[in-house]
Amino acid sequence: MKVAVIGAGVSGLTSIKACLDEGLKPTCFESSHDIRGLWRFKEKPEPGRANIYESVVINSSKEKMAFSDFPPPAELPNNMHHSEVLQYIRFYAQAFNLLQHICFKTAVVSVRQTPDFATTGRWEEETESREGLRETCVFDAVIVCSGHFTHPHLPLSDFPGIESFEGRYLHSWDYCNAEGLQGKRVVVIGIGNSGGDIAVDISRVAEKVYLSTRSGAWVVGCSGGGGLPADIVGTSRLDMMIQKLFPSWVSRMVEKKLDEAYDHKLYGLKPKHRWM
């Protein structure tokens, strides 16, 4: 069976390998010139593509995010810089000879059912190369791995007066580094992973940084007890069983531990929701 894979990021690469493992014939279409999708840093954001900023260090440990059949090299840190994640993904693609199944600089224009879909289940896929050459191929299956961090959501209508604001405003998708923010007063809206990360990054050069959160959050560092990665602490089968049986007690214990780092209530961060 011929399978079309759209996108050569992490999901696309693992899909190619899964197809090969099952004896299928995958063809991957990647609109850019290289693999890695989200993890390919670009100094200038490209419309329609995911983007990361210069200082990104992944918040999952390498033990937690590893491909199950391809552990990261031991010399890489627990929490990898985006350049190291990129290096690891490239090692994976090379180790399983995945690159030969990828058509680079080829965008998928449309995917539609064939006229005889009811009996064959096949799909007709139209592609376009960088040179503008269009081609139509038929596949038995299609796997869409095009990502979902490509279009920034910037609800300017929720900020009355923004049209007369004389300062600079941007979405985290547009953020590359703190260049140009030296000595400025900056407010970062949202305490998700990117919001917290970017606020810290800007704070190294700005006059003042405010982090605005509507509902607060439980803030967890990368390191847990004994210096182990925080995301693998409490993940044994026994721990999971205790969490399932006594969720309220586990929540209280975790929240107490987090408050030892800094009191969330004192810093105006304590959310209404419990840890669990």
Backbone phi, psi, residue 232, to 5°? -110, 0
pLDDT digits (tens, 9 = 90+) for 36-59: 788 888 888 888 888 899 999 998
pLDDT reported for residue 258: 92
For residue 49, CA distances in Å to 38, 42, 45, 99, 148 come to: 8, 10, 8, 21, 9
Domains along the chain with CATH numbers = 2-144 (3.50.50.60), 156-261 (3.50.50)
What one-character-per-residue DSSP string does 37-86 give? GGGS--SS--TTS----TT-B-SS-HHHHSBTTBPPPTTS-SS-BHHHHH
Pair 102, 26: CB distance under 8 Å: no
pLDDT at position 147 is 85
Q: Compute CA distances 218 → 254, 257, 264, whole Å.
A: 10, 11, 8
Q: Which two tokens stand for residue 195?
A: 């919001």
Instruction: Quickly tell me which residue has 């419309």 as its tokens.
Output: 47
pLDDT score at 9: 93
Q: What is the pLDDT of residues 165-207, one digit of tens each?
A: 999 999 999 999 999 999 999 999 999 999 999 999 999 999 9
Tokens of 14: 């693992």
Instruction: Return the residue matching tokens 């967890």.
Output: 220
pLDDT in tens, 215-250: 999 998 888 878 889 998 888 999 999 999 999 999
pTM across the whole model:
0.87
The residue behind tokens 């139509």 is: 136
> Which pLDDT tens digit goes with each residue over 82-122?
999 999 999 999 999 999 999 999 999 999 999 999 999 99
The pairing of strands 141-144 and 2-6 is parallel
